[in-house]
Amino acid sequence: MVSSLDGFIAKKDQSVSWLQSTDNYEKGITLSEEDVTKFIDSIDCYVMGSRTYEHALKLGWPYGNVPVIVLTHRDLMVDKENVELYSGDLEKLVNHQLKPKYSNIWMVGGAISTKEFMCLKLADDIIISIMPIILGDGTLFFDYIGQEQLLHLKDVTTYKDGMVELWYEVKKE
């Protein structure tokens, strides 16, 4: 997930135009196309909420032919063979359908889906990229999750554009 420094993942109007930074942090790194390709190729399956899915379609579908599970109770239009709609028990989906088939499942975007995954203890890691901006309002990434969760810092990466990526392991109790 990408958020502003104050924890918002979208403006009130759901726009994400602020994701492009013009900052220049000299000590930061720039990812090569090879780095990005290697990372993308490591993902076996994506899980996302319906609003993230609709947003991805508008932006130009970045998920290729990798299997995508869209969490929704709505009857959405699906015109891609690799996309499946799901509206059932998340624990059954993750533990019985996805984990036996895929080794690297990514839950991408969506405050509602993130909250559900965290509350059900279905997340192993959280990778959050903080953009150098304060939005002031909008959609919160962690929308009052209602429970404490211990994390272990696995890595921190700083980028030339001022973005900071924090990678946490979700500690299992």
Question: Tokens standing for 46?
Answer: 């994506």
Classify residue 29 by its DSSP letter.
Answer: B
CB atoms within 10 A of CB 66: 15
Across the chain, mean pLDDT equals: 92
- Give the pLDDT mean for 8-15: 89
Cα 55 versus chain centre, distance = 13
Cβ proximity of 172 and 125 under 8 Å:
no
Cβ proximity of 161 and 117 under 8 Å:
no
Residue 56's SS3 state is helix
What digits encode the pLDDT tens for the residues 129-168? 999 999 999 989 887 888 899 999 999 999 999 999 999 9
Q: Which residues contact 95 (CB under 8 A, 6 or more apart)?
A: 122
Quote the pLDDT of residue 16.
84
